[in-house]
Amino acid sequence: MLRDTLNTSRQRLRLWLNNHPRIKRMLWRNGCLKFQVQTVARGIGVGLFLGLTPTVGAQTLLLVIGCLVLRANLLSAYAVSWISNPFTMMPLYWVFHALGRTLFASFFQFDLFTSELLDTAWRETLYLVLGSLLIAIPASVAGYIISSFMGKYLVQRFQQRKLKKIKSMP
């Protein structure tokens, strides 16, 4: 069942890309469709960063832009960005806000707006964004480094196994 769904999705993606050759060329040239160790690692970094920031509604657009700019794999970025999903979003945002409020409350004692409602909304949003950045930046860098080393290790291991198999042939 799952395999049929994945095959259908792949076929639909291929058909769509074949019908839009300019987009396909641009995505391929920028590495967004390549499955190389570095492009996948960059995709994981982009996906973690955007998945751990409050970018609901614009997340997919920002993923595409980030992958084009950083020449990252779009599919790995999209998959990893689901760290923030409808089930984990509220707990993540609560942690981001609590961290931002704890660390930055003393910096924002002055009034930014004359309206108390606007001032409170702005301040609380700022706590959320700053708290999320404190988690997203190290997580995305760590995700990039770990996936880069893991990818290199797995490719090297695969090549060694292949070489060993070739040498053992009569």
Say yes or no to pLDDT of 120 above 90.
no
Domain that holds residue 146: 31-168
Report the pLDDT value the prediction gives residue 33, as an integer from 0 to 100. Answer: 72
Structure confidence by residue, pLDDT tens digits, 4-56: 665 676 677 778 778 878 877 777 777 777 788 999 999 999 999 999 999 88
Amino acid in position 146: I
Residues composing the chain = 170
In a domain, 19, yes or no: no
For residue 78, tell me if it sits in a domain: yes
* Residue 65 belongs to some domain of the structure: yes
**Model pLDDT for residues 154-167, shown as the tens digit of each residue:** 999 988 988 888 88
In a domain, 11, yes or no: no
Is residue 1 situated within a structural domain? no
By the 10 Å C-beta count (0-12 exposed, 13-18 middle, 19+ buried), 164 is classed as: exposed
Residue 154 pLDDT: 92
pLDDT of residue 30: 72
Kindly report the pTM of this predicted structure: 0.80
